[in-house]
Structure 1
Amino acid sequence: MKTFELKGSLRSDLGKKATKAVRREGVIPAVIYGGEKSTDAISFGVAASDVRKLIYTPEIFLVNLTLDGKEYKAILKDIQFHAVSDEVLHLDFLHVFEDKPIVIEVPVVLDGLAEGVKAGGKLSLDTRKLKVKALYKNVPEKLHINIEHLSLGKSIQVGELSFDGLELLNAKNAVVCRVQLTRAARGLAAKGGK
């Protein structure tokens, strides 16, 4: 997993007025959860320009977060956007530890050329990210799935996949990808059958 360096400053003033004032200064309010106790939550602010590359990317990062000199390892868990302007309103981070598993969505990458595509079918990626549970050091940047054996009309479901050190949390019957029969392929099949 790639790392991302981020600096923030702790916030003591909480509430609507203080939060609006912070946002006017170009700072995004944020919280880091998951400390030693379940009630631990640290409120802080980060500059909007500092998190742009963390937010607008399909990649996942381990964030080395420095808050007023103290360091934390975290992952970005949730982003809250304004409904109209798409401005980032709030960030939620999860504090990660060496011995505690985390739940995170990892992008899926399809490797190879499917047999069904060679035969005229169309490849469809139905699930772009899979939810996994693992120790943060075992989480890969992407989940690679070999599709070379996939024939016309066939699919790969979550239950058919397994990765070392990862537990897949999606429904077992959820379709990850499939090769659909196109109109042209149906026409060729009909001509060949006569």
Structure 2
Amino acid sequence: MKKLIVFLILTFSWSFGQSNNFPLKHEDFSAFLMNYATPFHGEISADKAVIKVEIQKAVKNQGKPEQYFISGYSEVEGTKSDFSGEITFTQRFNVSNAPDEMLVFADFAMKEPGSGEHSGNFRGKVRIQTFKKITVDSRATVTFKGKWKNYPGTLDFDVWWANFVPTDISRVVFK
């Protein structure tokens, strides 16, 4: 009976801890995620307040190579808040009109510390467009788009940030 219980525990922990089918697990996207130590800029809320986001640390999970643990800060109207979270890469597509380029998509979740009205969670999608052959000198356009909700549940804003200025964020394709 003990052996059966141990077997079941190991089987379930192994199957739930498995990586997804993301094909670029051997690549390192941390430099793109940290934007080479330059903050991303975007908008949050219906008033389109400027948000600045800097991911200061992005560490690839060796057990699940499609997942990165991140930390950094966001700043809105002079209010700065630290965050930590994760990004999990999910899909890769070719760019039809640029045969040497690819689109890579991921999900992100970031939590700010604290419990006040201006502390909460970011959740959404990441889109990276870069060359298929990633080198040390590679650059990419990186866009985050999602929601920010505060912990008390009284604020819920659309948010996006990127390392370029899109003319119309609604036209940026996310998967």
Which TM-score band applies after superposition, normalised by the shorter structure? under 0.3
Q: Which has the larger radius of gyration?
A: 1
Between Structure 1 and Structure 2, the one with more strand by share is 2
Greater helix content: 1
TM-score, normalisation: structure 1: 0.25
TM-score, normalization: structure 2?
0.27
